[in-house]
Amino acid sequence: NAGVTQTPKFQVLKTGQSMTLQCAQDMNHEYMSWYRQDPGMGLRLIHYSVGAGITDQGEVPNGYNVSRSTTEDFPLRLLSAAPSQTSVYFCASSRQGHYGYTFGSGTRLTVV
Amino acid sequence: RKEVEQDPGPFNVPEGATVAFNCTYSNSASQSFFWYRQDCRKEPKLLMSVYSSGNEDGRFTAQLNRASQYISLLIRDSKLSDSATYLCVVNVTGGGSNYKLTFGKGTLLTVNP
């Protein structure tokens, strides 16, 4: 099993550009989440999903969209990139919400 | 009060030392509790879940006190490979089947030869 796969690993965007961060898991996990990690801030929840077709906002959802059309995939879309979105983004999945989560290896995004 | 607070650290200890990390959480509706470790520029990895009865995994012991809303992690006989950031994580129910992980900011541990 590949676990949780995130692409790309690195990305540089110009302010105002849009892009999609991909996340896929092959463990048939219902729960998936997106986090961003910034120095001194810890990991903060952006959006999460408890199953296909169901998503909800986390702590810092502004500027991001998600959808969950399949169990396996949970893409994160940046609508109009801003320098404040420079961060490391982690996708994570779990069999059920109260189990531990498995994280992808992250996407390092720089917005210039 | 922050949802999950940890010792700010950093901790620098010699090999073989015992080190303890402490964590408090503010939401009494919290359902499940974990310790994760994160190596530099890597993703967080689950170290162990934390149960009210306390649990042990080799050199690692985790404790939970629901009344005090306090979680701890003890590492005995520390190894160089234990050097990492340790994250206290609490799963807070959002109602129904919605669960959200809330992370502490982490405590950096460096084990020195």
pLDDT band at A82 (very low <50, low <70, confident <90, very high): very high
Among A9, A43, A93, the residue to mutate for chain B (most B Cβ within 10 A)? A43
Residue A98 is nearest to which of B31, B46, B102, comparing CB atoms?
B31
Residue in chain B lying closest to A94 (CA): B99
| More reliable by pLDDT, A41 or B66 | B66
Token pair belonging to A21: 């961060």
* Neighbouring C-beta atoms of residue A2, cutoff 10 Å: 9
pLDDT tens for A17-38 read 999 999 999 999 999 999 999 9
Calculate the alpha carbon distances from B19 to A99, B7, B47, B58, B70 in Å.
26, 12, 15, 14, 17
Residue stretches of chain B with pLDDT short of 70 = 1, 93-99
Average pLDDT over residues A95-112: 90
Long-range Cβ contacts of A59-64 (<8 Å, 24+ apart) = A60/A36, A64/A34
Residue B43 is nearest to which of A41, A42, A90, comparing CB atoms?
A90
pLDDT tens for A52-66 read 999 999 989 999 999
3-state secondary structure chain B: CCCEEECCCCEEEECCCCEEEEEEECCCCEEEEEEEEECCCCCEEEEEEECCCCEEECCEEEEEECCCCEEEEEECCCCHHHCEEEEEEEEEEEECCEEEEEECCCEEEEEEC
pLDDT tens for B84-101 read 999 999 987 655 545 678
Answer yes or no: do B87 and A50 touch at CB < 8 A.
no
